[in-house]
Amino acid sequence: MSIHDRTVSLVTGGAGFLGSHLCEQLLARGHEVICADNFFTGTRRNVEHLIGHPRFELMRHDVTFPLFAEVDEIYNFACPASPVHYQHDPVQTTKTSVHGAINMLGLAKRVKAKILQASTSEVYGDPQVHPQREDYWGHVNPNGIRSCYDEGKRCAETLFFDYHRQHQLRIKVLRIFNTYGPRMHPNDGRVVSNFIVQALQGQPITLYGEGLQTRSFCYVDDLIDGALRLMGTPDQVTGPINVGNPVEVTIRELAETILRLTGSASPLVFRPLPQDDPMQRCPDITKARETLGWAPRVQLEQGLARTIDYFERLLSSSTGPLPHGLQPSATPVAAAIQTPALAA
């Protein structure tokens, strides 16, 4: 609490896709917001409309280093989330999850703050239980190309629960399933941004494998609502708790929906399936419904239409082919080569 009696919230990764929406919603609730980000995948542009707000502070900071600040609650969202980005510097990805968690938990311990971890459906790996419930331990390769992210996030969960048991920290662990919406980076290589940008630019839609793998897509506003509700629960509620949209679609169906909504004539092309790409993913959200009174409200087509609108405006406002001169990634490797430009 500041002397003004306002809740002070720290959002790590606050200049990223989800973090920027979270900062907005916390400001709307009257909080003071400290946004800490090293701008690896996030950009100032995502929060530029908040700069100058009397309760908003933007800080360049890498969570793998200690951070000293007086705060009431911490949302630990710092970590690249797209496979292309987290595989670009995998050692840094693990450090961000593990050292980042230790530093933020150390901070929470010192100032007695509540702390929420942005965990992920990736803790379930390529799941053999379907849909995924929170008590499923997962099926994760410990040394593949996705492991830096999956195992980093799993270790972060371990640290959260050990700080809770050992130091009585007030923790909240949110397992986020695939989330999309405005402010996804056009070149982050994730499927929704790739397909929309490809469709709008008349480029081929790149389906990895046969496009028969499934995902369940949650609109960003619903996800942020779930995160805020979890932070507001009584101290005994620690999670882990799944938040995602249980409507499961194949990647091919997603491509067809985006083609229809954009009216694009882009052809479908097939590319190799990346290693360890999970074949299916769908949350069981019984716990979120019962504990948080939460369920997604935005239907996939509604959310996609809003996201398409965002990318249309973004593409038409840029002078070059894309902001930073980036193209949507045709393959994971091609996109990884372009990633350093993101820091701009």
Binding-site ranges for ligand NAD (CB under 6 A): 12-13, 15-19, 37-42, 62-64, 77-81, 96, 100, 118, 120, 176, 178-179
Q: Please state the separation of Cα 84 from the chain's center in Å.
A: 13
Identify residues 209-238 at the interface with ligand UDP (CB under 6 A). 211, 213, 215
| Cα atoms found within 13 Å of the Cα of residue 86, Cβ hemisphere only | 23
Query: Could you identify the residue written with the tokens 């004539």?
Result: 265
* Nearest approach, Cβ of residue 110 and ligand NAD (Å): 19
Spatial separation of the C-alpha atoms in residues 296 and 305, rounded to whole Å? 16
**Under the criterion CB under 6 A, does residue 155 sit at the interface with ligand UDP?**
no
Identify residues 287-326 at the interface with ligand UDP (CB under 6 A). none
* Nearest approach, Cβ of residue 80 and ligand NAD (Å): 5
**Under the criterion CB under 6 A, does residue 253 sit at the interface with ligand UDP?**
no
208 has catalytic annotation: no
Query: Could you identify the residue written with the tokens 């052809």?
Result: 267
Q: What residue 63 binds from ligand NAD, ligand UDP, none (CB within 5 to 8 A, per partner kind)?
A: ligand NAD
Among the listed residues 124, 149, 163, 219, the single catalytic one is 149
Query: Could you identify the residue written with the tokens 């894309």?
Result: 322
**Under the criterion CB under 6 A, does residue 191 sit at the interface with ligand UDP?**
yes
Give the chain's length: 344
Q: Between 19 and 131, name the residue whose CB sits nearer to ligand NAD.
A: 19
The tokens of 17 are what?
A: 């896709």
The tokens of 157 are what?
A: 């969960």
Which of 29, 49, 60, 110 is the binder for ligand UDP (CB under 6 A)?
110
CA-based nearest residue to 198, from 147, 121, 262 = 262
**Under the criterion CB under 6 A, does residue 335 sit at the interface with ligand UDP?**
no
Spatial separation of the C-alpha atoms in residues 344 and 331, rounded to whole Å? 22
Query: Could you identify the residue written with the tokens 């995160």?
Result: 227
Q: What residue 39 binds from ligand NAD, ligand UDP, none (CB within 5 to 8 A, per partner kind)?
A: ligand NAD
* Nearest approach, Cβ of residue 5 and ligand NAD (Å): 29
Q: What residue 274 binds from ligand NAD, ligand UDP, none (CB within 5 to 8 A, per partner kind)?
A: ligand UDP
Instruction: Give the chain's largest Cα–Cα span.
Output: 59
Cβ 19 vs Cβ 37: under 8 Å: yes
In the shown chain, the binding pattern of residues 57 to 96 toward ligand UDP, with x for contact by CB under 6 A and - for none, equals ---------xxx-------------xx-------------
Q: What residue 79 binds from ligand NAD, ligand UDP, none (CB within 5 to 8 A, per partner kind)?
A: ligand NAD
Q: Please state the separation of Cα 1 from the chain's center in Å.
A: 27
Helix (H) or strand (E) holding 109: helix 90-111
**Under the criterion CB under 6 A, does residue 156 sit at the interface with ligand UDP?**
no
Which of 178, 187, 242, 245 is the binder for ligand UDP (CB under 6 A)?
178
Spatial separation of the C-alpha atoms in residues 43 and 245, rounded to whole Å? 27
* Nearest approach, Cβ of residue 159 and ligand UDP (Å): 9
**Main-chain phi, psi angles of 192, to 5 degrees:** -65, -50
Query: Could you identify the residue written with the tokens 């820091």?
Result: 343
Q: Please state the separation of Cα 34 from the chain's center in Å.
A: 18
Judged by the rule CB under 6 A, the positions of this chain that interact with ligand UDP are 66-68, 82-83, 102-103, 106-107, 109-110, 178, 190-191, 194, 206-208, 211, 213, 215, 251, 274, 277
Query: What are the catalytic residues?
Result: 149
